[in-house]
Amino acid sequence: MFKIITDNGSDLPRSYLEENGIDCLYLSTILDGKVIAGPGIDLNARDFYRLLSEGAKPSTSQINPSDAKDYFARHIEDSDEFLYIGLSSGLSGTVSSMTNGVAEVLEAHPNKKIEIVDSLAASIGQGIMVTHAVRMRNEGRSLTETAEWLRKNALGFNTIFTVDNLFDLWRGGRLSKGSAVLGTLIAVKPFMIVDDEGKLVVEKKLRGRKKALAYMVDYMEERLGSKKDMNDVIGICHGDCEEDAKYLEQLVTERLGFIRFLVSNVGPMIGTHTGASLVVLGFLGDNRKG
């Protein structure tokens, strides 16, 4: 049975990782030169978003090749086969770093097999890809078969989201201040996706929070297609807006009939760029764009 590894770009709950024997590598969140969240340093979501509300301006740092080598130096005997599912290459250089680091590991351990899959997704969209890897592993699928299936279906793993506070996107470097001011004045709520290149794009602008959340379900319904019945669980993440996440879960259940959800907070690494009002929906569909 192969070992599954991901990174904190997936925003999977620690309980899920532990229950399924998944290891997690960490991109770091840095404030005033100090790592406040990262390898061995856990900062809970509420405290992190409180720091943001008080004016903190953290940055993030990707995993580098030495991190990959360090991980396998400690865990190479855990299994003969490993599968790493990483944060989109359109958003971070982490997958490239892992690829470079793993190449050196395999030179030293030619009897081992390590597959790297670029999720081309983020947050719980990446997390849902991990859940499918777990399903396939538990069904007895091989490492090669699982990695090939994930790559073939990567563009079906959707990461869609909205924010209520445009100034969070401005502070995170994802929006100009002028756009944040204007959008706030006219109550614009951007609907965003991770596109086929694994990059963050604004797909639509809506008026009002509830309309934006409802549109997420519209978009999901349009994309599910033939993959609807393959979604054993739907992923929902939020920064620090639990009621909005619950409302989205209710909409998905009422309109699409899903009853199993994996709900968690968006961690500091992604939250640095998006803020506390972020709500994310992750699922497997036929495509990302119609």
What are the E-state strand segments in 97-248? Answer: 113-118, 157-162, 188-194, 200-207, 234-238
Tally of domains in the chain: 2
**Within a domain: residue 11?**
yes
Q: How many residues does the chain have?
A: 290
**Token pair of 162, please?**
């909205």
Q: pTM, whole model, 2 decimals?
A: 0.93
3-state secondary structure at position 262: strand
Q: Do 42 and 16 sit in the same domain of this protein?
A: yes
Same domain, 11 and 149: yes
Considering the domain architecture, whether residues 19 and 58 belong to the same structural domain is answered as yes
Judge whether 289 lies within some domain: no
Closest listed residue to residue 269, CA positions, set 90, 35, 37: 37
Distances (CA, A) of 44 to 41, 66, 235: 10, 26, 19
Domain range holding 245? 156-284
Q: Does 101 lie in the same domain as 204?
A: no
CATH number of the structural domain spanning residue 277: 3.30.1180.10
Domain's final residue, options 126, 153, 180: 153
The answer on 126 and 7 residing in a single domain is yes
From first to last of the 290 residues of the chain, give the pLDDT tens digit. Answer: 999 999 999 999 999 999 999 999 999 999 999 999 999 898 999 999 999 989 898 999 999 999 999 999 999 999 999 999 999 999 999 999 999 999 999 999 999 999 999 999 999 999 999 999 999 999 999 999 999 999 999 999 999 999 886 556 545 444 444 343 333 323 478 899 999 999 988 888 888 899 999 999 999 999 999 999 999 999 999 999 999 999 999 999 999 999 999 999 999 999 998 889 999 999 999 999 74
Domain final residue, candidates 92, 127, 153: 153
**d(C-alpha 277, C-alpha 61), whole Å:** 22
CATH of the domain at 43: 3.40.50.10170
| Shared-domain flag, residues 26 and 116 | yes
- Asked if 189 and 270 sit in the same domain, the reply is yes
Distances (CA, A) of 208 to 108, 252, 271: 55, 18, 21
Question: Are 183 and 94 members of one domain?
Answer: no
First to last CA, the chain: 37
Q: Are residues 91 and 199 in the same domain?
A: no
Residue 274's alpha-carbon distances to 26, 90, 142, in angstroms, are 18, 16, 37
